[in-house]
Chains A and B, each alone.
Chain A
Amino acid sequence: MTSGITRRVRVLLWAARAGAADHSAVFTWKTWLFGWFVRMLAQVLFFATAGNLLGPGQARYLLVGNAVLMVALHGLFATASTTWELENGTLPLLVASPSSPSLVLTGRSLFWLPDGVACGLGAFLLLGPVVHLPIGLSAVALVTCLLVLVGLTTYALGLFLGSLVLTATDLRNVVSNAALVVMMALSGVEVPASAVGPVLGRIGAALPLTHGLLAIRRVLDGRGGGQVALLAAQEALVGACWLAAAVAVLTLRARRSRRDGAALFLT
């Protein structure tokens, strides 16, 4: 038997591997590159083009917002893929194993992270020149790190939503789409967060993506590192809160399911 942390990391990695196998069954590299990736670029380009019609600077604003939104979109896919475990019929066995099912479910959808970051970064690098957005090498490195951060924080939200709809699988896409639209409206993707008023602004501040996106905008504007670091820390804090909420809900559901025989882990 191995130490607790090593064991948990290994379980997490194996869960991620199981998820990645599901992903590879959906996409080959060709269908991903020429289908999925192009579709993501087209969406970003659509908003950037619309921005061109709105006035100077708007195309760039919308391109940045929607490129980062692609990362968030992949993070929210965790809502749906969390329920795949239920479809495999492995949940009761996971619950009956000595490991935590929450840990497995946390790792289960991690494969979306590199997919999302690749789409977001690809949008910056390939479509940036269209809106005259020059990105230096150091900015690329920093933006990549921030995209990973946004991927992780939105993943935490996706996991939370997935834990809520774990047994209501018909709701999984409705819930993640609703969350994405709310983030589009409140997180500064299409309009600045300050434009939605103080109440909605506060809600936006509690969502992942908001601070991370602002940090990326600051990097691209060439602003100081201190401000970027503060925004990144805020983004990380928001993500940690959502992750804690997700784990709490999963643990609670597992406990409740054991007591009342709810369908959760017993189908």
Chain B
Amino acid sequence: MPALSGNQLAVETHDLRREYRARRGAGVTALDGVSIEVAQGEVHGLLGPNGAGKTTLMKILSTVLLPTAGSGRVLGHDLATEYRRIRPLLGIVFGGERGVYPRLTARQNLRYWAALYGLSTAAGRSRTEELLDEFGLAERAGDRVETYSVGMRQRLHLARGMVADPRVLLLDEPTNGLDPLAARQLRELIGRLAGEGRTVLLATHDLDEAELLCDRVTMINNGRVVAAEAPKTLARLLSRQERIRVRADPALLDQVRALPEVTEVAAADDGAAVVSVGSQEAVGRVLAFVVAAGVTEVRTELPNLEEVYLRLVHRNDERSVVAR
């Protein structure tokens, strides 16, 4: 991988907008003023429900689609005009089964893509063997890809994306359709690639995946950025200490439920109760109440990324409805 230089951003977009023309009726706005910044060496998640605009953004960043308005740069090169300079620097991996030649072997696929990325015969050969080893495909390298499991194919996809040792890796839902074990193996591989100082942009709707792998996440809904922060910061932003986990008898929980500050008391998997409080100011009052009642096992906690995601997307949807 070529050396990284300066403080230049790996990926930046400014007010990106992408509309698709429909044959009949109104066009569809897939992206509506998306601005993101991804630093070099960062693992950045693009989170959002299906149809949020993640894949359209990935297509624009991978230079196969032009934005309708706005601008973007990858490693300092303009997406619209300098796409030829960008292409050799990018590794692109789409999720799903498609994207490799099923009737070629893994070795042939990698040699082929090495040729497409301009590696010499010798360099292509050695890079191929390196990747086959690294991605655990060496033993079946001579078999046709059509005989591979979904997990093996996806590892091959990732290896293919790495063939030119790219500085920026675009991963569009790479664990889509994988069983949990294969998904975990792939996440470990992605984590390893990110650890090499590469910039990774990961589009996913798997929140655990984003929380596990990403330094920062951008949440997108209806083509707009809803939030962009580190996963933990997002959780804090949304509701610092809004939740109290408490282990108490049912009678006390009934009293807690009756407090005006409490919005919900739900049972947790471990037998404890999770008390949701309407505001940060009220947390102290509820804590004081349960401690005064003699409860010793009590703690405040942050919501996980899934809860943040659902709340932000829900809020954004509500705003969209109001705006209409």
Which of A18, A98, A266 touches B117 (beta carbons < 8 Å)? A98
Which of A7, A88, A96, A265 touches B118 (beta carbons < 8 Å)? A7
B103 to chain A, nearest CB (A): 4
| A129 at interface, CB cutoff 8 A | no
- Closest chain A residue to B55, Cβ basis: A266
In the complex, identify which listed stretch (B58-66, B225-233, B286-294) lies at the interface while the others stay far away: B58-66
- Tell me whether A259 and B116 are in contact (CB under 8 A): no
| A115 at interface, CB cutoff 8 A | no
Contacts of A31 in B (CB 8 A): none
Which of B66, B90, B108, B115 touches A10 (beta carbons < 8 Å)? B115
* Alpha-carbon distance A206/B102, docked complex (angstroms): 38
* Alpha-carbon distance A95/B63, docked complex (angstroms): 8
- Closest chain B residue to A254, Cβ basis: B64
* Alpha-carbon distance A95/B21, docked complex (angstroms): 21
- Tell me whether A22 and B103 are in contact (CB under 8 A): yes
Q: 5 A-B pairs, CB-CB below 8 angstroms?
A: A1-B119, A11-B115, A18-B112, A93-B160, A96-B87
* Alpha-carbon distance A259/B68, docked complex (angstroms): 8
- Tell me whether A90 and B59 are in contact (CB under 8 A): no
Contacts of B62 in A (CB 8 A): 92, 96
Contacts of B65 in A (CB 8 A): 258, 261, 266
| A217 at interface, CB cutoff 8 A | no
| B98 at interface, CB cutoff 8 A | yes
- Tell me whether A96 and B115 are in contact (CB under 8 A): no
- Tell me whether A261 and B18 are in contact (CB under 8 A): yes
Enumerate the 6 nearest inter-chain pairs by beta-carbon distance, A residue then B residue, closest first: A89-B98, A21-B103, A14-B112, A99-B116, A97-B116, A10-B115
B310 to chain A, nearest CB (A): 30
Contacts of A259 in B (CB 8 A): 66
Contacts of A2 in B (CB 8 A): 118-120
Within 8 A of A (CB), among B136-187: 144, 160
Taken residue by residue from 116 to 149, chain A's Cβ proximity to chain B (1 for < 8 Å, 0 otherwise) reads as 0000000000000000000000000000000000
What does DSSP make chain A's interface, helix, strand, loop or mixed?
helix
- Tell me whether A90 and B101 are in contact (CB under 8 A): yes
- Closest chain B residue to A4, Cβ basis: B118
- Closest chain B residue to A85, Cβ basis: B101
- Closest chain B residue to A24, Cβ basis: B103
Contacts of A95 in B (CB 8 A): 63-64
A208 to chain B, nearest CB (A): 29
- Tell me whether A258 and B116 are in contact (CB under 8 A): no
Contacts of B94 in A (CB 8 A): 89, 92-93
- Closest chain A residue to B84, Cβ basis: A98
Contacts of A11 in B (CB 8 A): 115-116
B214 to chain A, nearest CB (A): 23
Taken residue by residue from 106 to 141, chain B's Cβ proximity to chain A (1 for < 8 Å, 0 otherwise) reads as 001001110111111100000000000000000000
B5 to chain A, nearest CB (A): 19
| A94 at interface, CB cutoff 8 A | yes
Max chain A C-beta neighbours (<10 A), residue from B88, B115, B121: B115
Spell out B's residues near A (CB within 8 Å): 18, 20-21, 59, 62-66, 84, 87-88, 90, 92, 94, 96-104, 108, 111-113, 115-121, 144, 160
Contacts of B117 in A (CB 8 A): 97-99
Contacts of B144 in A (CB 8 A): 21
Contacts of A257 in B (CB 8 A): 64
- Tell me whether B103 and A93 are in contact (CB under 8 A): no
| A253 at interface, CB cutoff 8 A | no
- Tell me whether B121 and A10 are in contact (CB under 8 A): yes
Taken residue by residue from 5 to 46, chain A's Cβ proximity to chain B (1 for < 8 Å, 0 otherwise) reads as 001001100110110011011000000000000000000000
B70 to chain A, nearest CB (A): 15
Contacts of B102 in A (CB 8 A): 88
* Alpha-carbon distance A266/B63, docked complex (angstroms): 11
- Tell me whether A98 and B116 are in contact (CB under 8 A): yes
| A260 at interface, CB cutoff 8 A | yes
* Alpha-carbon distance A201/B151, docked complex (angstroms): 57
- Tell me whether A17 and B118 are in contact (CB under 8 A): no
Within 8 A of B (CB), among A244-267: 257-261, 265-266
- Tell me whether B113 and A97 are in contact (CB under 8 A): yes
- Closest chain A residue to B97, Cβ basis: A89
- Tell me whether A266 and B64 are in contact (CB under 8 A): yes
Contacts of A24 in B (CB 8 A): 103
Max chain A C-beta neighbours (<10 A), residue from B63, B87, B116: B116
- Tell me whether B103 and A14 are in contact (CB under 8 A): no
- Tell me whether A99 and B118 are in contact (CB under 8 A): yes
Contacts of B18 in A (CB 8 A): 261
- Tell me whether A90 and B100 are in contact (CB under 8 A): yes
* Alpha-carbon distance A18/B105, docked complex (angstroms): 10
Contact (A93, B112) CB under 8 Å given A2-B120, A258-B64, A261-B65: no
- Tell me whether B99 and A89 are in contact (CB under 8 A): yes
* Alpha-carbon distance A96/B160, docked complex (angstroms): 13
Contacts of A62 in B (CB 8 A): none
Contact (A14, B64) CB under 8 Å given A21-B101, A89-B98, A261-B20: no
A265 to chain B, nearest CB (A): 6
- Tell me whether A18 and B113 are in contact (CB under 8 A): no
Contact (A17, B113) CB under 8 Å given A25-B103, A97-B87, A260-B21: no
Contacts of B98 in A (CB 8 A): 88-90
| A104 at interface, CB cutoff 8 A | yes
* Alpha-carbon distance A62/B39, docked complex (angstroms): 70
Contacts of A265 in B (CB 8 A): 64
